[in-house]
Amino acid sequence: MRYALLSVWDKEGLVPLAGALVGHGYRLISSGGTGKALADAGIPFVEVSAHTGSPEMMGGRVKTLHPRIHGGLLGRRGIDDRVMAEQGIEPIDLVVVNLYPFEAMRDQGLSLPDLVEYIDIGGPAMIRAAAKNYRDVGVVVDPAQYPLVIAALERGGLSEDERLSLARAAFARTAAYDAAISNHLHALDGGLPAVYTRQWTNGRPLRYGENPHQQAAVYGDRGVAGAVPLQGREMSYNNYLDLDAAVRLVAEFEECAAVIVKHNNPCGAAVGPTPAEAYVTAREVDPVSAYGGVVALNRPVDADVAREVASTFVEVIGAPGFSDEALNLLAKKTNLRVIRTGPPLVGDEVRTIDGGLLVQRTPPTPEGWRVVTRRPPTAAEEAALRFGLRVAAHTKSNAIVFANERQTLGIGAGQMSRVDAARIAIEKARQPLVGSGVASDAFLPFPDTLEVAAEAGATALVQPGGSIRDDEVIAAADRLGVAMVFTGVRHFRH
């Protein structure tokens, strides 16, 4: 007689699986809500308490923690048979367990005394025991795995490779479960936890990393990390980085907007009445840099956009959707990766450093705009400043961005000197900067950046403020007739 133990919180697909097991000669062991679901479906099973000879205790906290359960899972066939027979332990060949929904209950904001009741003990113990003994025992932790088990039953049972694959998934699940509990308990006092544990799934190898001699993979099944091209070549490491940067920036705009990213920096951003006009305007900011870039829009791509994108070389285009006509037009560019995107997912930012990690969490931070010069910006200047600051916040530091109300005009990125960033932005500009607004991601330590910007034609500037020389910079702005705003919020991006 073969035994299968079923104990699941999520009852999806339980009855068909149980029916298939019984139909192939398995005797089922179950209890609680799982047993009730089986009984309601007319499927025979043995209560855990009847199998162990011990009653459930402590409100169900203790029921499967018994030698007749764990001995049946851990007993090695051909090695422990004598001991099992002496102790009256029947081998259990399959365990189907999914866990108390700790993560879901945590997200509902339960108090700690209530939440601890959703910390599963018996479930993880059975999963780990079965996974350790995968040569003899199959372990199933997700209803999505049920079809594999049913198919295996039809051909005589799970192969050793299938049991090993299921064991990998089982250990990954218990690791993620423990991580969720650990992270929550370590963060009870607020802020980031002292011990930080994360798990990423859906790992896929990439052809190489930033350069051909580097190995790389991408992990994740949501957002940019889970994006799969609707057409085109497979995504590269750099494609993922640039698409992430582009999606995060374009999400800053409520208006119809397009951005183009190259080497993780925006080289053009614009809003427009249509997606096509926004894209063309963004491309014309710096068409040389835009060549071979990554494009993101916050509106669906229609045929007009597709024609423009297909007229030049673009590595990736991401948007919330694509019309059929647009897809047909883009299909002519066989290497172009076409990605359906959504809004960026809110979560911690994690970066590796030598020997560890840096973790960053960004709360909603409203800008505290404060005019510090005698002249306030005009409505048009303020709109230009707000546009430029949104782009500067997504540009590598030091960053200086010239803009008008609807597009960037010049972007200076990733410079050690802020005044050099301003000069590069001016050099990049393809149209006059007279009347433009300038955004700086951090405070101006000296008046020189403002003076260079004013000489180029800028009439307004936004920066966080906070330098020991703020008074000097404000005096220079008043002398040059530049309206200046302090926000109080820095936007370094390293």
Q: Report pLDDT for 244.
A: 96
Strands (E), 257-378: 257-262, 265-271, 293-297, 314-319, 337-340, 349-353, 356-360, 370-371
What is the side-by-side strand order in the sheet with 46-47? 46-47, 26-30, 2-8, 94-98, 138-140
Do domains 228-340 and 370-486 share one topology? The answer is yes
Q: Report pLDDT for 368.
A: 87
Q: What residues in the chain have per-residue pLDDT under 50?
A: none
Task: Give me the CATH code for the 370-486 domain, please.
Answer: 3.40.140.20
Q: Report pLDDT for 187.
A: 85
Query: Distance of CA 327 to CAs 247, 332, 348, Å?
Result: 20, 9, 34
Q: Which CATH architecture has domain 228-340?
A: 3-Layer(aba) Sandwich (3.40)
Q: Report pLDDT for 57.
A: 66
- Per DSSP, 415 falls in state -
Query: Distance of CA 171 to CAs 5, 132, 141, 199, 232, Å?
Result: 18, 9, 10, 12, 35
Give the Cα separation of 58 and 23 in Å (integer). Answer: 35
User: Model confidence over 238-291: pLDDT tens digits?
Assistant: 999 999 999 999 999 999 999 999 999 999 999 999 999 999 999 999 999 999
- Per DSSP, 407 falls in state B
Q: Report pLDDT for 60.
A: 67
Domain extents in the chain:
2-186, 228-340, 370-486
Which homologous superfamily does the CATH classification assign to the domain defined by 2-186? Methylglyoxal synthase-like domain (3.40.50.1380)
Give the residue numbers annotated as catalytic, written as ranges.
132, 263
**Could you tell me the two tokens for 71?**
């001995």
